[in-house]
Structure 1
């Protein structure tokens, strides 16, 4: 048995069911081992798409995704998507092939400093120099991804290491480092509090049921980040909605008037916390993102086990505030927000994947999540081209119908993945909102730079014919009534729906 065969065996034993990638020369030993395993390999058409698919795999299922590429041309194509996962703390395992060790640091064909490049966009970037090191870093990476999921981990694998038969395996068993020393101070603040407030981020997802029991028992109001939507159903009064840049009126009032803000598993970006309050208890497994006077470095689960709450009575005060977020134009024929509102109404319980652009604003405002992982989008980096490949990963992980909302610009960044969609016959419906422009860029040009629109007009292909050329059913609608009639049907994927919409401005953050 060589290193490649043992690595594939370990991944299978650890429950990995899907790997996204493209084969190539330097990673071929791994692919040979993979070809005789039970792990499903999903052949994407671009490495960026493979990593986005691994990202969507995790966000929809909670199971870390795996992507694989060959050396430099393939590995460097990963960087956009790996950086996306890094900015949003999404745990994926990134495996890259490389030339033999003797060529490191040379100008040999397809050799670049891959480890150094990935160090900037991963939690760890490993470079095992022999088979035993490869076993160790794989075991350590899987443990971290499952138990301490801060973001992507990269392992760079030279071809000679992959083919080596000289190695020892490891049985790793160790605890994640944490620091719960501020628990007692946090408890004192909670005990004094009459108006506590929870802010839930993606890191609290695994504790959804526990948190639901706590807030219902003690009547503690909840707000969420973008990526915490659905941990508590947004149809429940106790969930005030998102806080921060795109926050609801109730969430904003609660944030301003709370005497104890308990942030569980949030990154604490400027979009969520425009200012850091003195009464913030911040719990996160990632020490680097902790802010405020009560930082707790550890798991949300461990924090909740060590904290006592008391019943409070200020939810009624908050609920007196009108929480309706007014979205103008949702009945106009055919504004982008009108189309998105119709899609949300037709698919209220499906996983929605949004790409980058003005449509993301309308989607996050209009989507009401009833469980975690129902709205997937790239928050921190927001690259164009995320939607379709992430939906492929989400579909394969969940087995559910997935709805993608794309603009005409971002769809074309990774449209080649229509081939992957068709090949795997996935139940994914792709809505392309076509206004023939980079709308959000036009709006910035006009609103902040006093410019006339420049280099934002798009000469688009016929998206229906394009999808049809991949063997995918496609249809075009250009009125709200036609979209409603279409959505009333029992739609199944693969399906592409081009929705011709008007140019429209979104409410920009101030």
Structure 2
């Protein structure tokens, strides 16, 4: 057994049954081992898509997504998607091949300092120099991805290391170095509080049942970040909705009037907390993101076990506020928001993958999630081209129907993954909102730079013919009536629906 064989064996032992990637010369030993394993390999058409698919796999299921690429040309295609996962703290395992160790630091064909390149867009980037080191970092990486999910972990594997047969394996026992020293101070704040509020981030998803029980028992209202939507059903009165720049009226009121804010597993970006409240208890595994006067470096689970809560009575006060978000044009023909509203009404319980651009604003405002992972989008970095490959990953992870809401510009960033979609015959329905422009860029040009639209017009292909060339069913609608008629059908993917829409500005956040 060589190192490549052992890596695949460990992946199988850890319950990893799906990986995404493209084979190549330097990673070939690993692919030889995969070819005789029980792990399903999903062949994407671009490495960026493989990493986005691993990202969508993880976000939709909570399981560890894995992506694989060969040396420099393949590995460097990961960078956009890894940066996306890094910004959103998505735990995926990234395996790249490399030339033999003797060529490290040289100008040899396809040799670049991959670890140095990746270290700024991953939580850790390892470069094992022998088989024993490879075993150690692999087991450490999988442990951290499962127990301390803070982002992607990269392991760079030289071809000669993969072929090594003389190595030792490890039985790791890791301890998380927590700092719970502020628990007593946090307890004092909670004890004195009459208006407590939970802000829940993706780091709290694993504790959703405990949090729901506590919130229900003590009537503590909940708000969420984008990536924790549905941690408590958004149809439940306890869930006030999004906090931050896209806050619902109830969430905004609760945030401004709470006397104790318990932020659990949130990154606390400027999109969530434009200002840092003095009464903030911030719990996170990643000590680098902790803010406020009551920082607690540790697991949300441990915080919930340590803290005593009490009944409060301000939820009825909050519920008196109308929580409807005013969105104009929801019944206008050819308005993107009206199309998105009807798509989401047709598929309320399905995983929805969005992308980057104006359509993402409408989607995040209109989508209600009943559980985590029902809305996938590239929040912190927001690259175009995320939606389709992420949906492929989600469909593979869950076996469910997945909906993609794309702009015409986004879709063309990774449209080659229609081939992956067809090859795997996944139940993914792609709605392309075609306004023949980079709409949000046009809005910035007009509203903030007082300029005429410049280099934003798109001369698009015929999306129906394009999908058909991949042997995927496709249809075009150019009015609301036809869209509503289509949505009455029992739609099944792979399917592409081009929805012709008008140019429309998004509602900008109000301070």
Query: TM-score normalised to the size of structure 2?
Result: 0.99
Distance in 1 of aligned mates of 2:433 and 2:180: 48
Residue 277 of structure 2: SS of its match in structure 1?
coil
Distance in 1 of aligned mates of 2:398 and 2:91: 17
Q: Which residue of structure 2 lines up, in the alignment, with residue 485 of structure 1?
A: 485
Distance in 2 of aligned mates of 1:146 and 1:115: 22
Q: Which residue of structure 2 lines up, in the alignment, with residue 249 of structure 1?
A: 249
Distance in 2 of aligned mates of 1:178 and 1:11: 28
1:60 Cα deviation after fit: 0.2
Distance in 2 of aligned mates of 1:324 and 1:28: 54
1:53-84, Cα deviation, whole Å (9 max, x unpaired):
00000000000100000000000000000000
Q: Which residue of structure 2 lines up, in the alignment, with residue 66 of structure 1?
A: 66
Distance in 1 of aligned mates of 2:359 and 2:287: 33
Residue 275 of structure 1: SS of its match in structure 2?
coil
Q: Which residue of structure 1 lines up, in the alignment, with residue 50 of structure 2?
A: 50
Runs of 4+ with deviation above 6 angstroms: none
Matches within 5 A, 1:350-389: 350-389=350-389
Q: Which residue of structure 1 lines up, in the alignment, with residue 466 of structure 2?
A: 466
Matches within 5 A, 1:235-246: 235-246=235-246
1:322 Cα deviation after fit: 1.3
1:164-200, Cα deviation, whole Å (9 max, x unpaired):
1110000111222211111111000000000000001
1:316 Cα deviation after fit: 1.1
Distance in 1 of aligned mates of 2:151 and 2:299: 15
Q: CA RMSD in A?
A: 0.6
Q: Which residue of structure 1 lines up, in the alignment, with residue 428 of structure 2?
A: 428
1:448-493, Cα deviation, whole Å (9 max, x unpaired):
0001000000000000000000010000001111111111111000
Q: Which residue of structure 1 lines up, in the alignment, with residue 400 of structure 2?
A: 400
Distance in 2 of aligned mates of 1:176 and 1:477: 54
Distance in 2 of aligned mates of 1:360 and 1:164: 47
Matches within 5 A, 1:281-296: 281-296=281-296
Residue 371 of structure 1: SS of its match in structure 2?
coil
Residue 444 of structure 2: SS of its match in structure 1?
helix
Distance in 2 of aligned mates of 1:294 and 1:272: 18
1:320 Cα deviation after fit: 1.4
Matches within 5 A, 1:58-97: 58-97=58-97
1:509 Cα deviation after fit: 3.0
Q: Which residue of structure 2 lines up, in the alignment, with residue 326 of structure 1?
A: 326
Distance in 2 of aligned mates of 1:82 and 1:177: 26
User: Which blocks of at least 5 consecutive residues in structure 2 are unaligned?
Assistant: none
1:225-270, Cα deviation, whole Å (9 max, x unpaired):
0011000111111111101100011101110100000001100000
Q: Which residue of structure 1 lines up, in the alignment, with residue 231 of structure 2?
A: 231
1:395-454, Cα deviation, whole Å (9 max, x unpaired):
000111000000000000000000000000000000000000000000000000001000
Q: Which residue of structure 2 lines up, in the alignment, with residue 495 of structure 1?
A: 495
Matches within 5 A, 1:42-191: 42-191=42-191
Distance in 1 of aligned mates of 2:345 and 2:331: 13
Q: Which residue of structure 1 lines up, in the alignment, with residue 22 of structure 2?
A: 22
Residue 474 of structure 2: SS of its match in structure 1?
strand
Distance in 1 of aligned mates of 2:211 and 2:120: 34
The count of aligned residue pairs is 510
